[in-house]
Amino acid sequence: MNYSFDFSVVWENIDILLAGAWLTLKISLVAIAFGLVIGVIGSLCRTSGNKILNAITLAYVEVIRNTPYLIQLFFIFFGLPNLGIKLSAEQAAILSLAVNFGAYSTEIVRAGVESIPQGQWEAGMAIGFKKLAIFRYIVIPPALANIYRALVGQVILAVLFTSIVSQIAAEDLTYAGDYLNSRTFRSFEIYFTVALLYLAIVWLIKGVAFLIENQAFKFAKYRR
Amino acid sequence: MDEFTLSRIFINLIIATKWTLILSAIAFIGGGIVGFIVMLMRLSASKWLRGVSFVYVEFFQGTPLLLQLFLAFFGLSVVFGINLSPLVAATLALTGFTSAFLADIWRGSIESLPPGQWEAGSAIGFGYLKQMQLIILPQAVKSAIAPTIGFLVQVIKGTSLASIIGFTELSRSAALINNVTLQSLLIFGLAGLIYFAVCYPLSTWSQYLEKKLAYET
């Protein structure tokens, strides 16, 4: 091995990589926000007691969880135009990521809601709380504390998944790496840096999640 | 020239599925072996071994699998001046990816055992190896099986990314047929269906084992 590493290519083009990283963050954030909404609605359908709603939601969850994200992305980006629905690369990326994250978060949120014993509801009613107030003040906080770590883990996986949207030419961090690689052929230096940038994003999320956990879930500390 | 009829498309996808399964098996076996070693390092008394294995796990869990594939396929080829085939590159990357997650899953199973199990082993004069082999592993395996099978589903789905570096398995074969026929909805729908047929039984099995275990303990 007499290869001489040269990271100057990376430093000279760091602005391209950072622009890509910015789009990665943006796509992730929007998709995760939409995905969470899907997850909350999905978990309500799963726990509603309505058999049809439950079956439809369960089918959605199982189909998404048992097929690769790449196929889901291609199905939406290349497949939907067959039905006359044309999406830009970014729209298809966000839609597919939201649908993907929605399925996983449906199950996570459902587990959270079901982790709260019925007695909590009854206790709320006994001290005269209305249903919405019970949900907001008695059920949600401990449910959220229970699922918080699973949710953060899923958010990190979702951010790592976004790298795949480069394959439909959404100009994210991985796409920026591909672009530089095709110009300079410094494959190792570029992809290694790109990988470390993803790692930095993951650590950033972990750090923020840790701070939020310490602040918001102080009440749940005794349980850990 | 042959027409791509529905049955021809389906047969071609099924043939390609063989390679998805082979690559999954290679990744799972390779990842299992390396993962076991990494797990032992994570649990070892040596600061150095713990540090190295921590960095290893952090890298493979904190970076996208796609980038790991690119690093193996493009990066290593350039650095070592050799041309890695897509299969070799995919094997390297998927082994790294799989081992990092399995090491963590298995470490969790071992750490969930009460420390008294180790102490009981040393009390009857067992050394580290005997404690591990006769006391710890048989118990840890029980709680590790369900999440390990669950992770196998992630590995099978992960092999779809090998298509991007040019390994012809189910996803790449679907993309190639799509380039000719442009019946994207049908083709990617079929590919998804085949993945589902492979993964769903495994997911269900994993969930069943998990429930059974929770019931027993």
Q: Among A1, A78, A191, whose Cβ lies nearest the Cβ of B70?
A: A191
- Give me the mean pLDDT over the A70-94 stretch: 95
Instruction: Give the gap in angstroms from C-alpha A131 to the nearest C-alpha of chain B.
Output: 32
Q: Do A68 and B171 touch (CB under 8 A)?
A: yes
- The whole-angstrom separation of Cα B164 and Cα A195 is 17
Q: Do B195 and A177 touch (CB under 8 A)?
A: no
Q: What is the pLDDT of residue B127?
A: 87
Note whether residue A32 is domain-resident: yes
- The whole-angstrom separation of Cα A13 and Cα A158 is 26
Mean pLDDT of chain A: 92
Q: Do A198 and B66 touch (CB under 8 A)?
A: no
> In chain B, which residues have pLDDT < 50?
none
Note whether residue A3 is domain-resident: no
- Give me the mean pLDDT over the A74-88 stretch: 94
The per-residue pLDDT for range A115-142, each reduced to its tens digit, is: 889 899 899 999 999 988 888 888 888 8
Note whether residue A39 is domain-resident: yes
Q: What is the pLDDT of residue B146?
A: 94
Instruction: Give the gap in angstroms from C-alpha A214 to the nearest C-alpha of chain B.
Output: 22
CB contact burial B23-50 (16+ within 10 A = b; e otherwise): bbebbbebbbebbeebbbbbbeeeeeee
Domain ranges of chain B: 6-216
Q: End-to-end CA distance of chain B: give it in Å, rounded.
A: 62
Contacts of B183 in chain A (CB under 8 A): 82
pLDDT band at A40 (very low <50, low <70, confident <90, very high): very high
Between residues B3 and A191, which one has the greater pLDDT?
A191
ipTM above 0.85, yes or no: yes
The CATH number linked to A108 is 1.10.3720.10
The per-residue pLDDT for range A207-221, each reduced to its tens digit, is: 999 999 888 887 776
Domain count, chain A: 1
Question: Is residue A29 pLDDT above 90, yes or no?
Answer: yes
Whole domain around residue A153: which residue ranges?
Answer: 8-223
Question: Is residue A99 pLDDT above 80, yes or no?
Answer: yes
Q: What is the pLDDT of residue B217?
A: 65
Please state which of the four CATH numbers 1.10.1040.50, 3.20.20.150, 1.10.3720.10, 3.40.190.10 is assigned to the domain occupying B6-216: 1.10.3720.10
- Give me the mean pLDDT over the A144-173 stretch: 94
Note whether residue A36 is domain-resident: yes
Note whether residue A2 is domain-resident: no
Q: Among B74, B153, B185, whose Cβ lies nearest the Cβ of A191?
A: B74
The per-residue pLDDT for range B97-133, each reduced to its tens digit, is: 999 999 999 999 999 999 899 999 989 999 888 898 9
Note whether residue A1 is domain-resident: no
Instruction: Give the gap in angstroms from C-alpha A106 to the nearest C-alpha of chain B.
Output: 16
| Amino acid occupying residue B16 | A
Note whether residue A183 is domain-resident: yes
Q: Do B75 and A191 touch (CB under 8 A)?
A: yes
